[in-house]
Amino acid sequence: MNKEIRNPPCSSKEDSELVKAFQAGDKAAFDTLVLRHKDKLYNLCYWFLGDGQEANDSAQEVFIKVFRSLRKFRFESAFSTWLYRIAANTCKNRLKSSEFRQKAKRVRFDNPGKIEDGQYAEEIQDKTSSPMIELEKKERMMLIHKAIASLPTDQSTVVVLRDIEGLSYEEVANITGINSGTVKSRLSRARQQLRKKLRGTL
């Protein structure tokens, strides 16, 4: 299982060129960066927060923060690493907010992608699948998310970045700001916890 192959990251070099272009005054370069990373960022936010609308709001908030501080970006890390770090912190703060907690009490995660206007925010990539299979996928996603959400935040962050987003230990360490050893130990505990929680599901 090689997530990097399944979900190849955007070229760091191209990102750097786009960032330089934006810093030189080309505002269209920012739009290109958004288009390149919006789906991955949305997916990440969804797995952190478990709600389509929340994920959309948070992903936009992340890009707004990026837009405001992109001129100060010094290329000390890859743009995607910097972007994910902002996303992880934004979602962590969102999870801590009382507004989110109150909403989480009201919303059941049995309809994860439903947003206010009745449209599903996310689209299942395999559109040839039957409704029954799609329903099963959604149910499985809901159960997995419920299990991830029940983990401590430091563990869920690591497992989402490593196992769902397919990032390397080093990238996870850079994004979360912890060393690789801690990443490995947290990941190990998170996986064991999830295995127990999802024993009957998988």
Partner 1 sequence: MECAKIRDLLSEYIDDALDAQTKALIDAHLRACPKCHEELASLKTLIRELGSLESLKAPDDFLEKLHERLEPRFTFRKIVRLLFVPGKVKIPLEFAAATAMAVLIFSILYIQGPEKMIPGVPESTTPGKMTEKTATDKVSPSGKGAEFKSKPVLGKTTAERSAKKQEIIELTLLLEKERSGDAQPSGESLKVASPRQRDAERPRTARHEAPKAEIEKDTLKRERQAMGFPEEEKPVIEGESQTPFSISNELLIKVKELIRLNEGRILSIEYGPHTERPKSIHAKIPAINYKSFCDKLNRLAILYTLPPSIPENTQGTIQIRIRFKSS
Using CB under 8 A as the binding criterion, the count of chain residues that bind partner 1 stands at 51
Handedness of CA 162, 156, 175, 52 (dihedral sign): positive
- Interface residue with partner 1 among 10, 144, 149, 178 (CB under 8 A) is 144
Structural Rg of the chain based on CA atoms: 17
Give me 96's structure tokens: 């801590």
Count of beta carbons in the 10 Å neighbourhood of residue 184: 15
**Contacts by residues 18-24 (CB-CB < 8 Å, ≥ 24 positions apart):** 18/79, 19/70, 19/73, 19/75, 19/79, 22/70, 22/71, 23/70, 23/71, 23/73
If one asks whether residue 133 binds partner 1 (CB under 8 A), the answer comes out as no
If one asks whether residue 187 binds partner 1 (CB under 8 A), the answer comes out as yes
- Interface residue with partner 1 among 26, 69, 102, 124 (CB under 8 A) is 124
Stretch that binds partner 1, among 8-16, 27-35, 77-85, 89-97 (CB under 8 A): 27-35
If one asks whether residue 195 binds partner 1 (CB under 8 A), the answer comes out as yes
- Interface residue with partner 1 among 18, 59, 167, 172 (CB under 8 A) is 59
Q: Please, which of residues 72-111 interact with partner 1 by CB under 8 A?
A: none
Nearer to partner 1, 19 or 52 (CB): 52
